[in-house]
Amino acid sequence: MKPGFKYFIFALFLGVLFLMLFVFIKGNKKKDFPLENEPLTNLYWLVGDWKSMDEEGSIIIEHWAINSQSELEGYGLHLKGNDTLFQEQLSIKNIHGALCYIVSIENSGPVLFTLTQRKEDTWTFRNSRHDFPQRIIYTKQGANQYHVKTEGRLITGLMDGEDYTFVAE
């Protein structure tokens, strides 16, 4: 066996070992790592009735209130004229030290999004295993307005999202 061949095999072995270690570490990274100890009271500004309008003239309504356990509960409605196109039950609560945004839609179970990031007046809730959206981002834009962005990757692999600006009623 030629001496250069031994070095080649050794280098190949080390390269494969390094690649396996990299894939193992990268693959075990938690995408939805919760942001812990964020006080729910920082989101009490959501309490009230809010309204948004999309490009097609549909009205989106969100209502938030504080329940007896000091959690936020609410609902969302998507209206077109006199028709209700979409209705959802909403809540934000502390579960095991992390804030969770929970959405319940008719004929399906609740979907939980975990607060994974907070930057000043922006809260990002994430569930990478949900079909769409995987992220719901609330941004406070003053005392009487906030922005909601839903975003995620579709089954086709393309990114998509929706933006809504809500104004206090």
| CATH assignment of the domain containing 100 | 2.40.128.20
- Is 144 found in the same domain as 65? yes
- Is 80 found in the same domain as 19? no
Domain assignment present for residue 35? The answer is no
Domain range for 8 is 1-30
Give dist(CA 9, CA 29) in Å, integer: 31
Q: What is the pLDDT along the chain (169 residues), one digit of tens a residue?
A: 566 766 666 655 555 555 554 444 444 444 688 998 899 999 999 999 999 998 889 999 999 999 999 999 999 999 999 999 999 999 999 999 999 999 999 888 899 999 999 999 999 999 999 999 999 999 999 999 999 999 998 888 889 999 999 999 9
- Is 79 found in the same domain as 11? no
Closest CA to 72 of 62, 85, 87: 62
- Is 104 found in the same domain as 68? yes
- Is 98 found in the same domain as 131? yes
Domain assignment present for residue 73? The answer is yes
Q: What are phi and psi of 30, to 5 degrees?
A: -80, 120
Tokens of 127: 């569930």
- Is 82 found in the same domain as 9? no
Report the number of distinct structural domains present in the chain.
Answer: 2
- Is 154 found in the same domain as 85? yes
Tokens of 41: 């009271």
Domain assignment present for residue 13? The answer is yes
- Is 5 found in the same domain as 44? no
Q: Look at residue 15 and give its three-state secondary structure.
A: helix
User: How far from the centroid of its chain's Cα atoms is residue 28's Cα?
Assistant: 20
**DSSP state, residue 36:** B
- Is 79 found in the same domain as 2? no
Q: What pTM was computed for the model? A: 0.80
Tokens of 25: 């570490």
